[in-house]
Amino acid sequence: MRRIYLDNNATTPTLPEVFEAMRPYFVEQFGNASSIHHHGQETRAAVENARESVAGLLGATASEVVFTSGGTESDNLAIAGLVKAGNHVITSSIEHHAVLHACKHLEEIDCDLTVLPVDRRGLVDPDDVRRALRPHTRLISIMMANNETGVVQPVEDIGRIAAEARVLFHTDAVQSAGKIPIDVKRIGCHALSISGHKMHAPQGIGALYVRKGTKLEPLFHGGRHERSRRAGTENVPGIVALGKAADMAKAALDRSHNEKLVALRDKLERGILAQVEGTSVNGENAARVPNTTNIRFEGIEGESLVIALDLKGLAVSTGAACSSGAIEPSHVLIAMGLQPDQARSSIRFSLGKQTTEADIDFALALVPECVARLRELSPRYARAGSM
Ligand code: PLP
């Protein structure tokens, strides 16, 4: 059966070039990068090359890049590593749980937390950030692009507010890296998280940019790896892969290669809106990363549509999470003002570098048919339709 994957915000396939770059570091070049002999020097050089590449993607210098196990660790390292008991932290209601839950945990060490709302487009208002500042505010953590809607936040404005207030600023750029240009200096952030598997490197590798001179308390205690910011023997194959993926992402961004992705995403989005009645795009009127569209299908249970499409070979997702046996609507869509049943009827389509026009045509042939079938079975839609 033909299988088309439009769930690249969940994870991306490792690109063949990336896999080839990491391959020698499993068997032939296996040394511990901390060893002083030949084997160690060989892998140390590979790690430092990759650090340059990641720094190049972010507009940083190599010594500001700390390798981690992924986005969740980078977010936790930034938040726990920059905040002390008694501090105040500002975040937003649409953050990934890696940030939201890490911030909530701070309340247990007597920190105060402000969780800012977003408007209907899914945007944080920088003035809300300014108004939320308190004398003991230590950190602002607001994401660069949302994983469910792709909506890009005004991070440069927030960076300016943080600078004026002399407050630290962390941004979760896990869903931005490789999709839109990132320049840590323009953003004015002190810390920025990325994750390999969202940008065509493997799962289990990520990085945290930490601005030079920013004091970061490590999460792990152990050796002096990563300039004492992240103890533990480096994942050399993963790091090499992240470096290669960063080089490839930078080259594509420099060539505006992502325009192809925008064209494919827009074709999919417009095609669905034109062919299927009762549809709308969540976050439509805001700037979005090129690969994501989040579409609401009135009268449809999102999970049922995901399953129906999967049975026909198309992989997409809902932002919903299953908690204690019940399907919770997406906290992001609820924060944008959707009713729970509207949030539950929304589906995320996310494209990747491997996505072709034929994949989009496949999706456009399938989605209207599956939606129509589910609506025939849906008393909810029949009721709404007859009103
Ligand atoms: N932050 C965002 C915005 C994400 O989308 C994700 C993953 O979905 C993460 C953080 C966590 O990254 P990882 O899966 O590498 O731990």
Please report which residue ranges of 145-258 form alpha helices under DSSP H: 155-165, 184-187, 225-228, 236-254
Average pLDDT, the chain: 95
**387 pLDDT tier (thresholds 50, 70, 90):** very low
> pLDDT, tens digit, for every residue of 229-286?
999 999 999 999 999 999 999 999 988 878 899 999 999 999 999 999 999 999 999 9
Q: Which amino acid is at 118?
A: V
For residues 67 and 166, give the distance between their C-alpha atoms in angstroms, rounded to a whole number.
26
**380 pLDDT tier (thresholds 50, 70, 90):** low
**CB of 206 sitting under 6 A from ligand 1:** yes
For residues 144 and 155, give the distance between their C-alpha atoms in angstroms, rounded to a whole number.
6
Q: Residue 70 has what DSSP assignment?
A: S
Mutate to test the pocket of ligand 1, among 73, 77, 92, 96 (most ligand atoms within 8 A of CB): 96
Spot the catalytic one: 103, 111, 322, 370. Answer: 322
Handedness of CA 287, 288, 290, 293 (dihedral sign): negative
**CB of 178 sitting under 6 A from ligand 1:** no
Q: By 3-state DSSP, what share of the chain in percent is helix, strand and coil, each rounded to 5?
A: 45, 15, 40
Q: Using the atom order of ligand 1, give the atom closest to the CA of residue 203.
A: 15
- Tell how far the Cα of 150 is from the centroid of ligand 1, in angstroms: 13
**CB of 96 sitting under 6 A from ligand 1:** yes
pLDDT-wise least confident of 43-52, 204-213, 262-271, 321-330? 321-330
> pLDDT, tens digit, for every residue of 23-37?
999 999 999 999 999
**CB of 375 sitting under 6 A from ligand 1:** no
Is 322 one of the catalytic residues?
yes
pLDDT of residue 254: 87
> Is the pLDDT at 323 greater than 90, yes or no?
no
**CB of 87 sitting under 6 A from ligand 1:** no
Q: Which long-range contacts link 99-103 to residues 24+ away (Cβ below 8 Å)? A: 99/75, 99/141, 99/143, 99/172, 100/331, 102/75, 102/76, 103/79, 103/141
> Is the pLDDT at 369 greater than 70, yes or no?
yes
Is this prediction's pTM over 0.75? yes
Percentage of residues in the chain with pLDDT exceeding 70?
A: 96
**CB of 72 sitting under 6 A from ligand 1:** yes
Report the nearest-CA residue for atom 9 of ligand 1.
Answer: 71
DSSP-assigned states of every residue in 129-165: HHHH--TTEEEEE--SB-TTT-BBP-HHHHHHHHHHH
Mean pLDDT for 282-303 is: 96
**55 pLDDT tier (thresholds 50, 70, 90):** very high
Mean pLDDT for 150-176 is: 98
> Is the pLDDT at 147 greater than 90, yes or no?
yes
Q: Which residue has the tokens 């936790």?
A: 76
> Is the pLDDT at 303 greater than 70, yes or no?
yes
Contact criterion met (CB below 8 Å) for 352 and 13: yes
pLDDT-wise least confident of 108-122, 214-228, 247-261? 247-261
- Tell how far the Cα of 332 is from the centroid of ligand 1, in angstroms: 14
Q: Using the atom order of ligand 1, give the atom closest to the CA of residue 206.
A: 15
